[in-house]
Amino acid sequence: MDRVNSPAGRVLVHLVLVIFAVYSLVPFFWTTLQSFKTFKDAFSRQPVFIFEPTWANYQDVWIRSLPEAGSSVGYFILMAAVVITCLMLFARYLPIKSTWIYIGGLIGYGLLLWAIPQLVYMQKYYKYFINTIIVTVFTILTSISIGCLAGYALARYAGMAAVVILIAALAFRALPRLAFVLPYFWIGSLMNLLDTHILVIIALVAVNQPFTIWMLRSFFMEVPKDLEESAMVDGANRLTSFLNVIVPVAWPGIISTALFTLLLAYNEFLLVRVLTQTNWTLPVAISRYTGAEDPAQLTLAAAASVSATIPIIVVILFFQKHLIKGLAAGAVKG
Amino acid sequence: MKRNTFFAFASPSIVVMLLLMVVPLLMALWLAMQYMTFRNITAPEFVGFRNYIEILNDPFFWRSFNFTALYIAIVVPSWVVIGFIIALFLDQVSGLTRGVYLSIFLLPFIIVPVIGTIMFKQLWEPSGLLTWVYQELTGARFRVNETSVKTLIIIFGIWYVTPFTIVVYFAGLQTLPAEMIEAASIDGASRLQKIRHIVIPYVSSLTVFILLFSIMDSYRVFDSVFVLSELNPQFKADTVMTYTFLTAMQFQRLGKSNAMAILTVIGIMVVLVPFLYLMYKEQIAER
């Protein structure tokens, strides 16, 4: 549309947008505020905006008891995390191949996550956090590697079979999770697989597969056909030309899809709630705080919610372009 | 690409979908005809269609169904209208400002729905911010009862999915050809007339897409209802999905809840079939 140019019009535009931004942010703002309050402040009927912030809620959510040398352990963990992050951020300026630095950095993070509970006596919440990471990472890896092959095939094959698969996938995507989850629950209890990561991962890969192949297909459609044709003229077969030529070109799209798979796996509640009894991921673990009658849980729930949201916001900030791209590609939240 | 190569590439995904989606769905059909609780999970008892009959005579099921219908009737039009209006406004700014607004608007959609619900719920606790605002404005106490919980569920539903419609409409507006608007401007059309006669028809195919998709999505709403209806267990405001869940996990009637899931699938088909037909035509046209 053409621009509104009158000054009054411009003010109106920004006024509406600012009001909508406030509306979008109020719950975040309030919960973050609550999470830094003491009991007394958090329960005041008259909302308190000026108070002395406390980390106690966060500490209660994450840490069971502080070790004697608490601060130095804390600094060590923090420094290690900062060093790894910097290495990965500046990987391209270092004389070693970037890929190796990324792999090393990821291993470093893994070691760090493993080391923390050895150094500090952590709460159960930390275990749920690790569960979430494990489930999310394996779901992404499986989902994307299967999905890439199928998405590419669906983008290049013009026959009827492709149409049938795409439409069937769309139908599955629209059906309620519960229709699939209850049979999984039944199989899981027959095979003693309930409460394991593997069952949750399998279920997540399955329910997200339709979405993954649709999205990847749309990105592979954008890759010009001549690319792999010229590679195949040079003697490469389909698979190698796909891996060496197509995947690097379509990489941003693959990252986009991985990002959405990450969100879907990280967000999943119903499926995890049914298929696990103690090995929860964060959404299920947090919902437990609110079901309880104890009002003291209020600030803890706030701190837990904020802690679980921060990783997502960091990821989004890093990959914002990919996210918008994916949404604009007509991708749909599952 | 040749047929054989196609199947070679697509087979892992096809196998996953057949084995992990088609088979469970068939299993659900079979389970729906069993009397099964957590006790006789290895030896279910065949009861035929009795589960379905029981559901259709279950007043709680119909109550949850009515609430789901109400939810869809309010939430879906709100998504479309609010999303379209905000997208129009967002289209008026550009560059960094636009990026900042867009990121803020997207937040409710990006965060974990359960956590979003918990954050929203914090506003309505007895010590919450909006409870206070409500009491200051109306002078009445904010009471948690069936009506207020249902209202909160609906407001939350609007809050957290609107970003999606904003982005879809916004992306659609970016492709609107400038010549169409210019021509209308030369003819002296006002802004509202342009929106009414050019923009709305231009995005109508998006609207159909959003409508069909959001009806199906809101029919399946679970997470937010599950958390919010916990506010006060005496005034359950269940949708079909949460009632199905409770039937399975709380009342331990696995067979009955499976039958409910099947009924939901049939219900969704009403919208799904026309949607699939549209997509099918689009796919055929593409080739």
B residues 209..268 contacting A (CB < 8 A):
209, 213, 216-217, 219-220, 222-223, 226-227, 230, 241, 244-245, 248-249, 254, 257-258, 261-262, 264-265, 268
Mean per-residue pLDDT over chain B, rounded: 88
Report d(CA B108, CA B93) in Å as an integer.
Answer: 21
Domains observed in chain B: 59-286 (1.10.3720.10)
Q: Between chains, do A146 and B126 touch, taking CB under 8 Å as contact?
A: no
For B146-169, the pLDDT digits (tens) are 888 899 999 999 999 999 899 889
- Give the other-Cβ count within 10 Å of B190's Cβ: 10
Specify the pLDDT at position B177.
86
What pLDDT score does A146 carry?
93
- Average pLDDT in the B88-92 region? 92
Angle (CA) B146-B152-B154 rounded to 5° is: 105
Give the gap in angstroms from C-alpha A201 to the nearest C-alpha of chain B.
Answer: 12
The Cα angle at residue A295 between residues A293 and A301, in degrees rounded to 5: 95
% of residues, chain B, pLDDT over 70: 98
If you average pLDDT over residues B215-229, what whole number do you get?
87
Note the pLDDT of residue B234: 61
CB contact under 8 A, B110 and A312: yes
B 93-112 → A contacts, CB under 8 A? 93, 99, 101-112
- Give the per-residue pLDDT at B157: 94
With a cut of 60, say whether residue B103 has pLDDT above it: yes
C-alpha to C-alpha distance for B188 and B210, rounded to whole angstroms: 32
> For residues B238 and B228, what is the distance between their CA atoms, to the nearest angstrom?
10
**Model confidence over B223-264: pLDDT tens digits?**
888 888 876 566 678 889 999 998 888 888 999 999 999 999
| Region of residue B219 (left: phi > 0; alpha: psi -120 to 50; beta: else) | alpha
Question: Which pLDDT score, from 0 to 100, does residue B231 have?
Answer: 63
CATH code 1.10.3720.10 for A124-328: yes
Q: Which pLDDT tens digit goes with each residue over B24-46? A: 999 999 999 999 888 888 888 88
Q: What is the pLDDT of residue A333?
A: 35
What are the DSSP calls for B218-279, one per residue? Answer: HHT--HHHHHHTTS-TTS----HHHHHHHHHHTS--HHHHHHHHHHHHHHHHHHHHHHHHHH
C-alpha A66/C-alpha A54 separation (Å) is: 16
Cβ A267–B105 below 8 Å, yes or no? no
ipTM of the shown complex: 0.88
B78 interaction partners in chain A (CB closer than 8 Å):
none
pLDDT at A148: 93
What pLDDT does A334 receive?
33
Are the beta carbons of B13 and A202 separated by less than 8 Å?
Answer: no
- Using the beta-carbon criterion (under 8 Å), do A177 and B222 form an inter-chain contact? yes
Kindly list the domain boundaries of chain A, sorted by start residue: 69-119, 124-328
Mean pLDDT, 10 residues at a time, over chain A (334 residues)? 84 94 93 88 81 86 79 84 85 80 88 86 89 94 93 89 90 87 90 91 92 90 82 77 86 90 91 90 84 69 90 82 72 38
Q: From the candidates A14, A16, A24, A156, which should be mutated to test the interface with B, based on the most B CB atoms within 10 A?
A: A24
Question: Looking at residue B155, what is its pLDDT?
Answer: 95
Per-residue model confidence (pLDDT) at position A332: 40
Using alpha carbons, select from B66, B247, B79 the residue that is nearest to residue B160: B79
- What's the pLDDT at B257? 93
pTM listed for this prediction: 0.88
